[in-house]
Structure formats: C-alpha cells, structure tokens
Structure 1
Amino acid sequence: MGEADTTAAPDRRLRSLDPATGNLVAELPLHAPAEVGEAVHRARRAAEYWSELPWQERRRALLRWAAHLVRDADALCALVHAENGKPADDAYLELALALGHIRWAARHAGRAVAARRVAPGTLMANFQARVERRPLGVVGVIGPWNYPVNTPIGSIAYALAAGNTVVFKPSEHTPAVGRFCVEAFTAANPGLPVGVLGAVFGEGGTGAALVASAVDLIAFTGSAATGRKVMASAAERLTPVLLELGGKDPVIVAADADVESAAEAVAWGAMSNAGQTCIGVERVYVERSVAGRFHAALRDELRDIRAGGAYGPMTVPEQVDVVRRHLVGALEAGGTALVGGPDALRPPYIDPIVLVDVPESHPAMQEETFGPLVVVRTVDDVEQAVQLANGTRFGLGATVFSRRHGLAIARRLRCGTVSVNAMLAYAAIPALPFGGMGDSGFGRIHGLEGLHAFTRTQALARRRFPIPGMTLPTFRRGPGTMRLLRAALNRLHGHAR
C-alpha cells in the first residue's frame, strides 16, 4: 500500500462528498499512523476482556448492536444514500443482509469455536486429544465504499463473535457510514471497554498504517491491485490476510433455461448499484438456440431503466473513466451496443449498457469494469460457455440458468460461489461461506468457515494414565518396549485390509 505518511497536520480533515451533487456530507478526523497504532493498542487491551467473555455474552452484545441499527435504520440508510449514492430502498436491502450476518454469527459462534475430541489412535490410547479454537486477538478490517454496511459487517460481526476485537478502517469515500456503524455498537453496549470495536479514518496512508500495525489479521475488501500491496506489506510482520477482491462474474444461460427469468435477473445483477458490485454480472454466455429471445428479453427489461432513478451515480468519479475505456475499446474492436452506448455516459451517471460480439481477449471481457456495462456472447453449447466463463484470472461468483443441469454446470465453474436459477442468492444466505480464488482473493468470510477464519487452532494432548512398559519418548526405554512396538506395528499395519 506504499509508505505511510508519518506526518499528518493536526487540522487536516477527511471530507466526505455526495457523489451525485458534490455537496459535503461529513468531515471526520484524518488519523495519522501514530493514532492508528493507539487504536490497535486500545483494541489489544479490550481483547483481554472481550475474549474471556462467554460466547453467550458476546452474542447478546452483537444482537443489541443489530437492534440498535434497526431502530436507527432510516438515518443510516439516508446516510448511505448521501455518501454512496444508492437509492434508499437499496440501502435498506443492504442493511437487511448485514443484520442477517450479525444475527447468524452471534447465534452460531458457540458451535464454531466449541472444542472437539479426536481419536488418539491405538498407540496413544492412554491420551485424550482435543482440537480447540482461540480468538486471534485484534483484527484489522478495511472496508469498501460500494457496500459500506454489509461488506465490512460481514467481517466485523464474525470477528467479534469469535472473540476478537476489531479496528475498522472504512473507505475514504464512505467514512460517515463506517462511523455510524461503530458508534451504534458502542451505544448499544455502553458497559463494554473502549476498543472492542473501534474505527480509524483516512485515505491510503491510514490503511497502510493499519496493515503495518500489530494486528493479528487483516481482512481487506477492494481491488486486486491494492490487495497485492496489502499482502506484501502484511508479509513484513507475517500478518495473515483475508482478501476479498474483485470479480468478472459470468452468467451461463443454457438452452433449457427460463429465458425471461434469466434476462430479468441479469438486468438487475448487472445494473443495480450502478454495476458497482464485486459479484455483479459482467459477462453473459447464452446458448445460440435461445440467444435471440434472451437479447429481446434483456432489452425489454432495461427499456425504462435509467441511472438517477432505478440506481444511483458512480460513487467514485474515476470509475467512469474505466467504463468509458471498456465501452469505446469494445466498440472499436467490433462489438455492438444492444442497449445504450457512448450517450449512456453522463457523469456522474451511466445508463445501462449491453454489448454483444466483443472479442473474448478484450479488456471489457477480462478486466473488472465495475459499472453498469455487461457483455453478452452467444456460444455453441454449455461446454464452450464453461470454458469461457473460466477464462479469466478472477474467480469470485457466477450464476447458471438451466432447468435440468444447473448444479452440474455450477460444479464445473472455477469460482467460490455459484447461484442457480436466481441472481446472487448465496449473498443472502449467511450460512454460506463467501470468497474467491485467483485475482478475486482467498480466504472465506460468512458461515462456519468465516467464523473459523477469525480463530487460531490449538491442538491439545493430555496423558490420562501411564501404560507400564510402553512409554516411548524416554531414554529409559528398554528392549521389551521395542518388542511390543514391533508387534503392535505388525498387527496394525502389516496387512492390507
């Protein structure tokens, strides 16, 4: 993430702007690296208390947090609308997902961290063997701007439920939303020590300072390019990282699909949140026999959809340039606009764009666009669709539409999550782990796997009683012990059965 700025002027402030109007939404402190270190130190002190609480007490604290967010839902969603730009209704949908994760993590952490006994084996039959899980300590969470409530809470809630304390650095584009969520936890749990959930605010230097600090794990959500920098910086302290990076998610529409349902889902999956969704639809592969119907149905779905109404502006102005580059380059390479075109770009808004006949090697097919632009390609069969869907460096999510073969197709896709005959269904099921591979990162959040990701494993072996003559790790071992060992090995392993 580059060198952290070690000199921050006392009067510098982080200014959050409405992406649609440019109006000031909030001003927050801009934390210097030394202040980040202090926040981590507070979290370390609080971890001594929080980690020793019974998991039932942590559950109650998390559920109180969820209840507080519900009570202040209108204010939070209005703030998301102002800072991120998405419509208030979409902000409520995002909050609903986040609340589901808080509740699931709170209620299932006990099972996830429970000790389990394992068989010690014949030679160690006088031992008790256990696998136990411990909190890591302090977790640093660096959140994104596109889903500023749900995405960071998808790490924070699971880290807290597992017994860790958290230092959260929200995106510099949505810092007030991050502050709101942290202050809601504090207000809901006034009896907890300072530092169980804290926040630091700033730009890249603040994030770099958090990665370089004495945290025990970094959970980062963002681009693949920044993820590589996070990983390189964390390697200096051998700090483990959990990376949820970008995607170039495909949809496969098989010949036996419900074509109209698929078109409806693709329209929403590609354009909602102005296409600023890591698991949003960016590529569609449709079998030739139904391609014409799909094109017509998708045009119908998007006929009256416009930015500024159905979805909001581009949150980050620079992202408009990425969409423009992919659009213009794809058209120059022989692609055709099925919906929209250059006129769809009216910053900070971009209306829906659907392209066809774009070469597979073009950046519009290989790089993350992160905007309301989707490319549809006709394929000869499902075999070709699977091959092309697996043909990028990304591997986050995918969707398959097929009445009879959906699961079989899904199992062949090189990605972490797949939804069959519905759009992004896995994102609304807290019990399902979430994460990717390749340039989409590694590690898992959500579900039991997500709870496990925020713990360390400890193996315990306890001798219950001695077995005379069979103590092996000793210099007093005699010939009789070795005769018994040879006989035991012959009996246990000398026959293939």
Structure 2
Amino acid sequence: MTFDSVNPATGTTIATFPVHGAQEVRAAVERARSATRWWSELGVNGRRTRLLAWKKALYDALDELADLVHRENGKTIHEAALEIGAHLDVLGWAATNAGRVLGTHRVRRGLITANQAASVTYQPYGVVGVIGTWNWPVYTPGGAVVSALAAGNCVVYKPSEHTPAVGRFMVEAFTDVVGGRPVLSMVTGLAATGAALCSAGVDKLSFVGAPATGRAVMAQCATTLTPVVLELGGKDAMIIADDADLDAAVDGALWLGIGNSGQTCIATERIFVTEGVYDAFLDKLATQARKITAGAGEPSGYGPMVLHGQIELVRRHLHDALDRGGRAVVGGPESLRPPFIDPIVLVDVPDDALAMTEETFGPTLVVTRVRDIDEAVAKANSGVFGLGASVFSRRHGREIADRLRVGMVSVNNVMIFTAVGGLPFGGVGHSGFGRVQGADGLREFAWPKAMTVQQLTAPVNPISFFRKPSAMTRYRALTRMLHGR
C-alpha cells in the first residue's frame, strides 16, 4: 500500500511513499537499536562532529530544502528559509552543548555523607520515536530529533503524511554523515503507522499534533509505560499595553497570526489591547491586513491551507463568532476560497465563542478591548492552553510576561524564542508537557543516574545490623545538630 504527497496549492503529486505496517515499524526500531552502541560509544565529541556535519549539509542544501518545503507544505520560500535557519541554530546549539549539559555533575553532600563523592550522570534512553507534524516540517519535529540524537539516542522518525518528502530529505542528509547506519531512520504512513510506532518498543516517544490525538498517543504509550513528550498546540495570546510600539505590534500580529496561513502552533490568535490604544491599534492592523492576500507572491502573500478539514473549522469558528455578535473588520465569509483563506480580523467576539476558546489554526485574528493589563492577563490565562505568547510594552513587558501561564513568551517581538537554540520549546496545560531543545530538551531524552562513591570509612555506620550500640546515639546527636534548631 502507498500514499501520495501532494502540493496543497496545486494538488499535483510530489512523491509516493509506502504505508509501513506494524511489523515494518518494529523492524525499524530493532535496526535502530542495533546502532545504539555505536552511536553511544562515539562519545560527545564524535556525535558533535557528525551533528555539525549534518548541519553543514543542510545549510549547503538550504535553497533545495526550502523549495521542497514550499512545494510540499505550501508556505512561501522565505518562510521556509526562516524555518530552516531556526532549525540550524537549534541543531548547532545541541551539538556543541550536549557534553556540558549532560556531563557528570558533582553534587554537594551533607555532613552525614561527607565520606561520599556524589554525582549525577545522564544516560540515553536508547531508541526514541518521533511523530512529526506538517505545518513546520523541519523545525518542529527537528527539535525532538536533534535533542534525542545529541543526548545519545537513536531515532525512528515518522513524519506527517502531508510532508514525508521533507522528512526523507532530512533523514537522508543525516544518514550520509553516519555512513548509512540506522541512527536516524524513517517510517512513513498514516495514523496507523504512528500508532504502530507507539507500540514498537521505543524507549521514549515524542509527539506533536492535536490534543485529541495526543491523548490517544499517551493512552497507548501508557500500556507499555513508555514515557512521552507532547506538544499539542495552543491558543496564543498577544497583550498590547498603552505604551506599546503599535507599528511593531501590528507587524508581529500579522506575521505570526496570518503567516503560514495561521497554521502554526504558536500562532497569535487572540489579541488583548488596553483601552488607551485600542482604536489606534485596530485601525493600523486593519489597514495593514488588507494589504496581504493568500496565494499572492512575496512579500505580501502566504500559502494555502493544507487540510480541507481545517478550512471547515475556520468557517465554523467564523460563523459562530458572527452569529454571536462579533464583527469582521477585515475579511469575512468571502475570505474562504479553498485552498486559500484571506486574512480575517474579528472584534466584539464573546469570550466563550469558539474563536476564543478552541485552536483555529487559520489566518484569523480576534482583537479584544480590555480595561487594563490585569484584565488582559486574566483573559490570556483563562483558557486551557498554555503554549506561547507575546507582550508589547516599552516599560512593563517583562513584568507582564512573568504573569502569563505559558511555556514561552516574547516581549516586544513575536516567536523570536524559536530562533534561540538554547531555549526550551513546550507548553503547559492542554498544550502538552515535556520540552525539546535547549538544556531542558537534552535532559528530556536522557535519564538522570545518581551515584555515590565511598572515599573514606565513616566513623559511624548506622546502616548495619551489626552496628555498635553507640552508632545510633551519635547519629541522633548529629541529626539534632544539623536539623533540630
């Protein structure tokens, strides 16, 4: 059985791929396991050399890969190049910092254990399964793949069925630098192939996708006690204070909310603007949004929607908002012309409308007037998601950002945290748990191993059936001295 990868803008076939079944997926995991010893014994320096060679290969092929992302994912060439550049930064950081982050750490011991040398080391799990997504087909699954490889694991990667050619490009580039060994391998197929990977004996699994699918993945992995990392999307908010740079805020809102046709897990979907600048911001936003058209060329255009079902979801959210008193100040029902959706800006949308509570994943912005920053923060934190956010305020940005219940936030910019390879990526609440990238991402794919090494014989040894009668007396006296005050 096979399936086709198609260009979402034209419907033309890009490539045909096999649908791998459960036995083939398990065989891929076993092949990966056969390479774990070689990959582990390379050590930090050997893995760094090969990961940096992979980075160089991807950089050398940047134009070719960006074109492939454009054709298979639909985003513009420039958007694709930005995505690949961010991935290269993540890859470079992980390769050069894995030894420092995961190396042996000495741990201070107390007076009672002064004769022990205490340390923590980090051990790779073995084989990590990664189920990727299509909307950012290089950067998003790449964070998990890179973190797992740099931590010393082998990886079996199942790309989205909508972008398998991008996945194959990434895997083949890596395979070349490891001499064909199955350190990073790929299986392809539909949902059943991803489900098979959950049950194929991987030691940890990373999944990016919708919350409903994430729950199913987690439930399936629970049957084998396989630990999981889940990134499940969001309903990201932007807060604009009275002292904000409105032009920068408008530019950021449109780029992150409309770019890639809104098909970004960290896309801005809700914008909360304080009363003092609401009218000015909305006027600027509407003026600039009308200059952008889906399907147009660079620089003022963006690509198609990838999934037909997502177009219908945007339609449902839009009509629900309008039926409940919301107004479209830019676009409206006429914006939907599949496979494209032109920008939509909504106002006066009730807090419990679908466009305010569910992930829309389309080029739709909902702008809400708030009395002050306290109300803005309360509304931003009111939903079940907690992935990313942005804040625009010249004087109070960090203070406002600290109050937001999210995993990532940019102040006076949008999504720039994705370009800092040392920062972790992930969310809270229904946006998932666990992290990829940065030091936290490296440790996510390595389990901590505590160790003590006795250096001297203790004068008092209370942990023995044959201790002297005075041992517990001395131990109690020492405990009282340390903790009894």
**TM exceeds 0.5?**
yes
1:23-46 alpha-carbon deviations (Å, 9 max, x no partner): 111001111110000000011110
Distance, in Å, in 1 between the alignment partners of 2:291 and 2:483 is 72
How far is 1:71 from its partner? 1.7
2:80 corresponding residue in structure 1: 91
CA distance in 2, matches of 1:121, 1:204: 52
Structure 1 residue 392: Cα displacement:
0.6
Alignment match of 1:475 (pick from 461, 465, 472): 465
Q: Distance in 2 between matches of 1:268 and 1:119?
A: 48
Show the counterpart of 2:47.
Answer: 58
The corresponding residue for 1:490 is 480
Contact 2:206 2:230 in 1 (8 A): yes
2:186 is matched by which residue type in structure 1? A
Q: Deviations over 1:277-335 (max 9, x none)?
A: 00011000001111110011101211220001211000111110010000111111100
Shift of 1:240: 0.4
Cα deviation, 1:169-220, whole Å, max 9, x if unaligned, reads 0000001110110001012332x6x220000000000000001121111111
Contact 1:16/1:83, CA 8 A, preserved across alignment: yes
Partner of 1:199: 186
Deviation (angstroms), 1:490: 2.8
Give the CA RMSD over aligned residues.
1.0
Per-residue CA deviation, residues 245-285 of structure 1 (Å, 9 max, x unaligned), is 11000000111111121111111111000000000110000
Report the 3-state secondary structure (helix = DSSP H, G, I; strand = E; otherwise coil) of the residue aligned with 1:51.
helix
Query: Does 2:210 align with 1:223?
Result: yes
Given that 1:145 and 1:173 are in contact with CA atoms closer than 8 Å, whether structure 2 keeps it comes out as: yes
SS in 1 for 2:106: strand
Q: Select which of 273, 298, 303 maps to 1:286.
A: 273
Amino-acid identity (%): 51
Deviation at residue 467 of structure 1 after TM alignment: 2.6
Whether contact under 8 Å (1:65, 1:189) holds in the other structure is: no
Counterpart mapping for 1:30-109 below 5 A: 30-109=19-98
Letter in 2 for 1:69: L
SS in 2 for 1:265: helix
1:493: how far off? 2.6
CA distance in 2, matches of 1:288, 1:160: 49
> Among 229, 232, 250, which residue is 1:242 paired with?
229
* Per-residue deviation, residues 62-83 of structure 1 (Å, max 9, x unmatched): 1111111122222211111111
Q: Where does structure 1 differ by over 4 angstroms across 4 or more consecutive aligned residues?
A: none
After TM superposition, give the deviation of residue 491 of structure 1 in Å: 2.4
TM-score norm. by structure 2 comes to 0.98
DSSP-derived class of the 1:134 partner: strand
- The residue number in structure 2 matching 1:157 is 146
Specify the alignment match of 1:460 in structure 2: 451
What does residue 437 of structure 2 align with? 446
Is the 1:142–1:219 Cα contact (8 Å) retained in structure 2? yes
Quick one: distance in 1 between partners of 2:113 and 2:273?
A: 58
Unpaired segments ≥5 residues, structure 2: none
Instruction: Give structure 1 stretches of 5+ with no counterpart.
Output: 1-11
- 1:322 equivalent to 2:309? Answer no
Equivalent position amino acid for 1:467 in 2: A
Query: Counterpart amino acid of 2:135?
Result: N
CA contact (8 A) 2:330 2:346 kept: yes
Which amino acid letter does the alignment assign opposite residue 337 of structure 1? Answer: A
Tell me the amino acid that sits aligned with residue 209 of structure 2. Answer: G
Aligned equivalent of 1:186, options 169, 175, 182: 175
Shift in Å at residue 371 of structure 1? 0.4
1:8: which partner in 2? none
1:20–1:85 Cα contact (<8 Å) kept: yes
Aligned to 2:447, the other structure's residue is in SS state strand
Alignment correspondent of 2:120: 131
Q: Is the 8 A contact 1:344 1:350 kept in 2?
A: yes
SS of residue in 1 equivalent to 2:243: coil
Aligned to 2:250: 263
Counterpart-to-counterpart distance in 2, 1:162 and 1:294: 45
Instruction: Give 2:325's aligned residue.
Output: 334
Alpha-carbon offset, residue 486 of structure 1: 2.7
1:359 to partner: Cα distance = 0.3
> Is the CA contact (8 Å cut-off) linking 1:94 and 1:147 kept in structure 2?
yes
Give the whole-Å Cα distance in 1 for the aligned partners of 2:476 and 2:316: 71
The number of residues matched between the two structures is: 481
Query: What pairs up with 1:412-451 in 2 under 5 angstroms?
Result: 412-451=403-442
Alpha-carbon distance in 1 for matches of 2:103, 2:393: 40
Structure-1 residue corresponding to 2:395 = 404
